[in-house]
Structure 1
Amino acid sequence: MNGQPPAPAGRVRRAPHVWCGWEAGGRVVRSARRAEGVPASPLVLSVLDRLDDWTTIDDLAAALDLPPTATRGVVDGMLAHDLLDEWVARDVDGGCAPLPTPWEAWAPAARLFHLATRDVAFGRPSADPPSSAADRPSPVLPPQGPFDVPLPAPRVPGALAPALATRRTHRRFASGAIGLGDLATLLGATFGVQAWAAAAEGPLALKTSPSGGARHSLEAWVWARAVDDLPAGLYHYRPDAHALTRLDGRQAPARVTMWLPAQEGYEGAAVVVVLASELARVAWRYRSARAYRVVLIEAGHLAQTFCLVATALGLGPFCTGALADTAIETALGLDADRRPVVYAMGAGIPAAGAWRPHEDRQAPVLTPTPHRVTPDA
């Protein structure tokens, strides 16, 4: 739209990246600028179909065979849902409100997926299977050929083996604070810049987890709840300086479930870390919607590193994608379009006794496999 001659005032056109599809409630149309859609009535679709270019209300009314006042009402409703753009004199770009950076490059696929998966309703996990055991997909694939090549048992050197072998998701925590040194190790080993690599575009951060194109878009926002020698509150971890910056004026929620819905087992965690992506770092290099997939994958890289480091420190880690996106972004002061939250993790002092996945469930019987991870002798 930039660089095009301005349209005369009082004209409207279809917004870019409008999507129509069938959902449970029927046919729906939505803009890539917002999550909620509207019923795709024949009239709404007819308006969208006729507005490839700037059109006056009178011309649109004539095309629809409707009075101008009725047409204006339909247009106003569609403008309110960002399905149309209206040119006004003060808009130097011709009146088209662009998608927030970097979504313009990734729309509509990545944007629609992002909006559709925000602030969803989460229920408490049930101990009962959702359907019959006969319907359960197998946890492993059948042999994909007639011959197997047996492999020697894994032998992992050093302290990594116990961490790999004993990492579990913890939802039961003992009371008490974790040490500031443990938190520093956890943050530095997971998110800290380990070295800078010279490159034509400028220095590239190298960390313990991989990142596509060394973009490292994921920033760690820390909710310290029970850490020795660290006031409880909200912080941003600075990976270049290995330091925490207190977010003055920002209030932590009263309960973990206000950020992590239906996750009562995490209430005893000493620290919660939220990952939010600086999307512009990725979009600067990668213009395909697939780049958004890489952002989400990298959250898993960091979470695994976090969980292994926490386990090696004797802490009980967890990670979860069950997030109250808007509540977290509002509390941290994050721009939901440019710096959205994508994942969360945390740690605390493990509760005494055998590990079990939930407070209200018995410890499961674990049957070790012959090829389980064991320390290298």
Structure 2
Amino acid sequence: MDPNIVVRTPRTVRLLSPSPQTGSRWVAEDWATRRRYALPLEAVVVLIRCFKPRRFGELLRYMEADVGIPLSSARSLLGQLLKASLLRDATLPETPREAWINHVQTEWPKWGWIESAEYHVATYDYQFVSSDESGLKEALSRMNRYAADEPDLNRSKSIKDAVKRIPMGAPKPADAPSTFEEVIAGTVPVGTLSKDRFLAALSISFNYTGTIPVPWKGAPLFRRTSPSGGARHPSETYVLVRNIEGLPQGWYHLDFGARVLELMREEKVDSAELVTLFPATYGRAPFPVAAIVIVTCVFERNMYRYREPRTFRTVHMDAGHLIETFELVCAANGIRCFTQYGNNDQAIEAKLGLNPLEEGYMLACAVG
């Protein structure tokens, strides 16, 4: 390459240092191509140096003299960075897409919309499969390709070392004994929160009601009383019991695929810790809290099929459908509930033993 050519790191490229998100690696994100690259440290040095335009020959000399890379290796590394568009000819004008990305990422943060800007750029103009016959064929073709690489088996979660498993049975209409009109009108009187009534509300809200066979290599999909995109059902449910006769105090997981409530461990959590964990849910509940229902999301379960950035929107809809069903069922049973989202996510995930990159907290509902 001509040593007089001037190169620079495009403004659409962002460097991420080692972190829980990237592991032990440096990563380059290119917003223009929507691609990520793992980088050796030498490449990181080059990209940082090229935030300002540099002549190719000067860059080679710098890498050899100051970074300690043999000239042949330096040429090879620069060639790879150019091929990946992580370096570019600085004399060429930005493309319209690059100019638009830079505008969004410059202007939106002025209003505090940093994450919104990143999400907008990542999802803008994404090409989805259509819902007509050709689109359905393409979707099935994709699922067959995915399943050939890895069978589609992730349907529900079970705690292998659970202390105790409480059978819940299949959901049934009697689990919601009041009519929808009575619930909406608020005429169902509040009753005593018993173990049976609580388990019935959990069962009809979260347990599976049936299965759907799949035409690719994988386990049957579940149905529940709430809808879920593609019947993926990424939401999992946990319960912290404080004061329900017949249920030991402690942390539970609801295995909706087996219809059992699994006691993970007995633990008495005092009010001070509950305020720290659930400041919005426990701290604001307008009644004595007997239990807290927590909804999380297993991201992989949804993203196995929907491998595009907007998948992250739908998991919030999934959790919202489930908790609204639970609130209606609680009302039908004369059970008080109070749902909030803004709690101590990281502390809750730590209590539940979750890796937040695999399964994350979504919301919590106080019950009494």
Kindly indicate whether the alpha-carbon contact (under 8 Å) linking 1:177 and 1:228 is maintained by their aligned counterparts in 2.
no
Say if 1:228 and 1:295 are closer, same or farther in 2 by CA, change over 3 A: same
Report the residue type matching 1:56 in the other structure. E
Distance in 2, matches of 1:249 and 1:213, equals: 36
Distance in 1, matches of 2:179 and 2:65, equals: 74
Name the residue aligned to 1:334. 354
Instruction: Tell me how far 1:307 sits from its aligned partner.
Output: 0.5
Please give the secondary structure, in 2, of the residue aligned with 1:288: coil
Residue-by-residue CA offset, 1:138-183 (whole Å, 9 max, x unaligned): xxxxxxxxxxxxxxxxxxxx71111123299xxxxx9x97211111
Distance in 2, matches of 1:241 and 1:290, equals: 30
Do structure 1's residue 265 and structure 2's residue 251 form an aligned pair?
no
Q: How do residues 268-283 of structure 1 correspond to structure 2 at under 5 angstroms?
A: 268-283=288-303
Kindly indicate whether the alpha-carbon contact (under 8 Å) linking 1:210 and 1:301 is maintained by their aligned counterparts in 2.
yes
Say if 1:289 and 1:253 are closer, same or farther in 2 by CA, change over 3 A: farther
Residue-by-residue CA offset, 1:251-306 (whole Å, 9 max, x unaligned): 74644322222552337211111111111111110011111100001111011101
Distance in 1, matches of 2:243 and 2:231, equals: 33
**1:159 pairs with 152, 155, 179, which one?**
179
Name the residue aligned to 2:72. none
Which of 60-69 and 221-230 deviates more?
60-69
Kindly indicate whether the alpha-carbon contact (under 8 Å) linking 1:221 and 1:235 is maintained by their aligned counterparts in 2.
yes
Aligned residue pairs, count: 225
Runs of 4+ in 1 over 6 A off after TM superposition: 64-72
Name the residue aligned to 1:102. none
Kindly indicate whether the alpha-carbon contact (under 8 Å) linking 1:190 and 1:209 is maintained by their aligned counterparts in 2.
yes
Q: How do residues 63-78 of structure 1 correspond to structure 2 at under 5 angstroms?
A: 63=59
Name the residue aligned to 2:29. none
CA-atom RMSD, angstroms?
4.2
Report the residue type matching 2:300 in the other structure. A
Name the residue aligned to 1:319. 339
**1:193 pairs with 203, 208, 212, which one?**
208
Instruction: Tell me how far 1:32 sits from its aligned partner.
Output: 10
Kindly indicate whether the alpha-carbon contact (under 8 Å) linking 1:182 and 1:313 is maintained by their aligned counterparts in 2.
yes
Say if 1:250 and 1:278 are closer, same or farther in 2 by CA, change over 3 A: farther
**1:242 pairs with 217, 234, 259, which one?**
259
Distance in 1, matches of 2:59 and 2:299, equals: 41
Please give the secondary structure, in 1, of the residue aligned with 2:284: helix
Instruction: Tell me how far 1:346 sits from its aligned partner.
Output: 2.5
Residue-by-residue CA offset, 1:9-46 (whole Å, 9 max, x unaligned): xxxxx9xx965xxxxxxxxx7669668xxxxxxxxxxx
Say if 1:214 and 1:166 are closer, same or farther in 2 by CA, change over 3 A: same
State percent identity of aligned pairs.
26
Distance in 1, matches of 2:65 and 2:278, equals: 47
Runs of at least 5 residues in structure 1 that lack an aligned partner in the other structure = 1-13, 20-28, 36-50, 73-108, 117-157, 169-173, 349-377
Kindly indicate whether the alpha-carbon contact (under 8 Å) linking 1:251 and 1:331 is maintained by their aligned counterparts in 2.
no
Report the residue type matching 2:42 in the other structure. T
Report the residue type matching 2:212 in the other structure. A
Distance in 2, matches of 1:305 and 1:262, equals: 20
Name the residue aligned to 1:219. 236
Instruction: Tell me how far 1:67 sits from its aligned partner.
Output: 10
Q: How do residues 170-185 of structure 1 correspond to structure 2 at under 5 angstroms?
A: 178-185=193-200
Q: How do residues 20-169 of structure 1 correspond to structure 2 at under 5 angstroms?
A: 56=42, 60=46, 63=59, 159-166=179-186
Say if 1:63 and 1:166 are closer, same or farther in 2 by CA, change over 3 A: farther
Residue-by-residue CA offset, 1:233-261 (whole Å, 9 max, x unaligned): 00001112222111137774644322222
Kindly indicate whether the alpha-carbon contact (under 8 Å) linking 2:248 and 2:266 is maintained by their aligned counterparts in 1.
no
Distance in 1, matches of 2:277 and 2:345, equals: 8
Distance in 1, matches of 2:64 and 2:276, equals: 47
Report the residue type matching 1:283 in the other structure. M
Distance in 2, matches of 1:259 and 1:301, equals: 23
Name the residue aligned to 1:83. none
Name the residue aligned to 2:123. none
Please give the secondary structure, in 1, of the residue aligned with 2:181: helix
Please give the secondary structure, in 1, of the residue aligned with 2:367: strand
Name the residue aligned to 2:221. 204
Do structure 1's residue 300 and structure 2's residue 320 form an aligned pair?
yes
Report the residue type matching 2:222 in the other structure. A
Say if 1:18 and 1:194 are closer, same or farther in 2 by CA, change over 3 A: farther
Distance in 2, matches of 1:167 and 1:18, equals: 58
Say if 1:228 and 1:250 are closer, same or farther in 2 by CA, change over 3 A: closer
Distance in 2, matches of 1:318 and 1:236, equals: 20
Please give the secondary structure, in 2, of the residue aligned with 1:276: strand
